Copies of this chain bind each other. A is one copy, B any other.
């Protein structure tokens, strides 16, 4: 993996870069749609390309449960399995083990839990987590982290951050593929000193890139922004910085200003499935009966495959009758919106005017909510 900076904003910490991975290049800042179970819901890889998607996220936890990492490997690895030949990152499943799994036993070696799918006992520790991600074969693997819930007292937050550090070291040790990058994850909940220690010690361990984890877990926006603004600058400038699970457009734009390079979030696809479109002027709810005979596209001037061909009236109809083309088309628009937002951000950074772009973007977005 190679990462080079191609631009640095004048007034903010925003930077643009180029991430070279086994399966291709990614212009950063970049947004990854979420395809936890080896599918970005309802969209083919060709459609993702049309939306301007450069890199996709899948999830080792979900794929280890079904169909199993060994099955994916038998079917040629994750790229071949899901038909996406571009850059691919697998999350380790730390977040899922600690938030989704029911009954579980946590030891130094890992977590034993009952599969929510079929009740069978599953074990996920640093070694198995790396084995799974090596078998899946994404371009980037993530260490197994212990993600604290929110709110979280200081003591358990510290314990989770410490465990994440030990597991990160074990993951680095167990990681077996030269052609797969490995990213560390900073934890520490909303405690500044824990974040600082976690960042410093994760960097000491040494990874190809660094993620800020433990955000987007229910905390208020100002806390999330503070954690990002504090943590991002502590990570090495010459390595990619990945903000996990963030977020809505203003959160993403704000974090770019703090020097974040990579993002993932279910928002564009989940909101799209729920009939909500992102536009520069805020959200548009396509179920709104006022749009029944609206000839305009979802977003004026948008050149995505949804807006080029369909009216808000048609989308309104699809959602009202429950046709699955509605969720598909609005996921397409939302992913194209995110990709365009990132393209605009990269351009603004290279031109040294990101601060102005950020403030204008957020003001316009927040002004027009629910058009």
Asked if A295 is at the interface of the complex by the 8 Å CB criterion, the answer is yes
Contact A324 B41 (CB under 8 A): yes
Compute how far the CA of A285 lies from the CA of B83 in the bound complex, rounded to whole angstroms.
Answer: 21
Asked if A239 is at the interface of the complex by the 8 Å CB criterion, the answer is no
Contact A305 B44 (CB under 8 A): yes
Instruction: Find A313's partner among B71, B310, B325 (CB 8 Å cutoff).
Output: B71
Please give me the residue from chain B that is nearest to A50 by CB atom.
Answer: B46
Question: With A44-B305, A305-B44 in contact, is A318–B39 under 8 Å at CB?
Answer: yes
Q: Which residues of chain B come closer than 8 Å to A80, judged between CB atoms?
A: 311
Q: Which residues of chain B come closer than 8 Å to A71, judged between CB atoms?
A: 292-293, 313, 317
Please give me the residue from chain B that is nearest to A63 by CB atom.
Answer: B317
Q: Which residues of chain B come closer than 8 Å to A323, judged between CB atoms?
A: 37, 39, 41
Instruction: Find A320's partner among B66, B309, B318, B320 (CB 8 Å cutoff).
Output: B66
Q: Within the complex, what minimum Cβ distance (angstroms) separates A245 from chain B?
A: 20
Asked if A3 is at the interface of the complex by the 8 Å CB criterion, the answer is no
Asked if A105 is at the interface of the complex by the 8 Å CB criterion, the answer is no
Asked if A205 is at the interface of the complex by the 8 Å CB criterion, the answer is no
Contact with B along A40-80 (1 / 0, CB 8 A): 01111110000000000000001000110001001110001
Contact A293 B75 (CB under 8 A): yes
Contact B311 A81 (CB under 8 A): yes
Q: Within the complex, what minimum Cβ distance (angstroms) separates A44 from chain B?
A: 7
The bracket for how many chain A residues form the interface is 35 or more
Question: With A292-B67, A293-B74, A293-B75 in contact, is A38–B317 under 8 Å at CB?
Answer: yes
Question: With A71-B292, A310-B83 in contact, is A41–B76 under 8 Å at CB?
Answer: no
Q: Which residues of chain B come closer than 8 Å to A327, judged between CB atoms?
A: 324
Q: Within the complex, what minimum Cβ distance (angstroms) separates A74 from chain B?
A: 5
Please give me the residue from chain B that is nearest to A309 by CB atom.
Answer: B83
Contact B75 A311 (CB under 8 A): yes
Nearest 6 A/B pairs, CB to CB? A83-B309, A39-B323, A67-B317, A39-B325, A75-B313, A42-B324
A residues touching B (Cβ–Cβ < 8 Å)?
37-39, 41-46, 62, 66-67, 71, 74-76, 80-83, 292-293, 295, 305, 309-311, 313-314, 316-318, 320-321, 323-325, 327-329
Residue contacts A-B, CB under 8 angstroms, 12 given: A39-B318, A41-B325, A44-B309, A44-B325, A67-B292, A67-B316, A71-B292, A71-B313, A71-B317, A81-B317, A324-B324, A324-B327
- Give 7 new A-B contacts, CB below 8 A, not counting A45-B309, A81-B314, A324-B327: A44-B305, A44-B328, A66-B317, A71-B292, A75-B314, A81-B313, A83-B310
